[in-house]
A = this chain, B = another copy of it.
Amino acid sequence: MGPASFNSSDYVVLGMVGLGARSGYEIKQTVELSIRFFWTISPAQVYPSLGKLERAGLLLGRDEPQGNRPRRVYERTPAGTLALRDWLKRAEPMPFELRDIAMVKLFFADALESADARQLLAQIKSRSAERVVTLEAIRPGAEEAARAGSTHPLLTLELGIAFHQAMLEVCRRFERCPSEITART
């Protein structure tokens, strides 16, 4: 076996442990509450990742059961912190790659009757509207963290809000007048 190599999800786990998520369960939860907007991870990935990171010496785990309920908590080692920083600085291609069936369907929507096409657009609009609401709900926490010195979670949150709001505006404009859309700034 060569030196262990890690993928992005492994680094996400490593990063989340540093932010206070101690068990696999907490890591999954924290991801849902913070970066879900641009990254997800399932339990089936988290636990193998934790094992891998521990074997590599980037995490230190110990059993800390709650009563009879088994539980293993982790902390990041100095080597783990270095490895995370190293990854964050590492130059690697980071293309923006979205895979969105809804947009694909919208692209082909000229093949539909206009009522169906309008319905599709309405779905995409409400999806973004809902997303804005959930993201706004997270904001107070992120703002507090920002005041305490961690500004980047708020920044990524703002990015998410801004871009769903931008999509909302385009949808509204098109709903009002499908042809006017060409007359853009």
| Shortest Cβ distance from residue A7 to the other chain B in the assembled complex, whole angstroms | 10
Whether, in the assembled complex, A72 has its beta carbon less than 8 Å from a beta carbon of chain B, the answer is: no
B167 touches A159 (CB 8 A): yes
B162 touches A169 (CB 8 A): yes
B103 touches A151 (CB 8 A): no
B162 touches A178 (CB 8 A): no
B127 touches A94 (CB 8 A): yes
Q: Which of A21-29, A48-56, A60-68, A104-112 contacts B (4 or more CB under 8 A)?
A: A104-112
Whether, in the assembled complex, A89 has its beta carbon less than 8 Å from a beta carbon of chain B, the answer is: yes
Chain A contact patch, size range:
35 or more
Determine the distance from Cα of A184 to Cα of B146 in the docked complex, in whole angstroms. 14
B96 touches A84 (CB 8 A): no
Please name all residues of chain B whose beta carbon is closer than 8 Å to the beta carbon of A15 when the two chains form the complex.
Answer: 104, 107-108, 111
Determine the distance from Cα of A156 to Cα of B106 in the docked complex, in whole angstroms. 7
Residue among B35, B88, B109 making CB contact with A103, cutoff 8 Å: B35
Whether, in the assembled complex, A6 has its beta carbon less than 8 Å from a beta carbon of chain B, the answer is: no
| Shortest Cβ distance from residue A87 to the other chain B in the assembled complex, whole angstroms | 8
> Known interface pairs A35-B104, A184-B158. Does A110 touch B149 (Cβ–Cβ under 8 Å)?
yes
Residue among B101, B163, B164 making CB contact with A8, cutoff 8 Å: B101
> Known interface pairs A152-B107, A154-B182. Does A100 touch B39 (Cβ–Cβ under 8 Å)?
yes
Give the residue name and chain of the B residue nearest to A142 (CB): B182
Please name all residues of chain B whose beta carbon is closer than 8 Å to the beta carbon of A124 when the two chains form the complex.
Answer: 94
Whether, in the assembled complex, A99 has its beta carbon less than 8 Å from a beta carbon of chain B, the answer is: yes
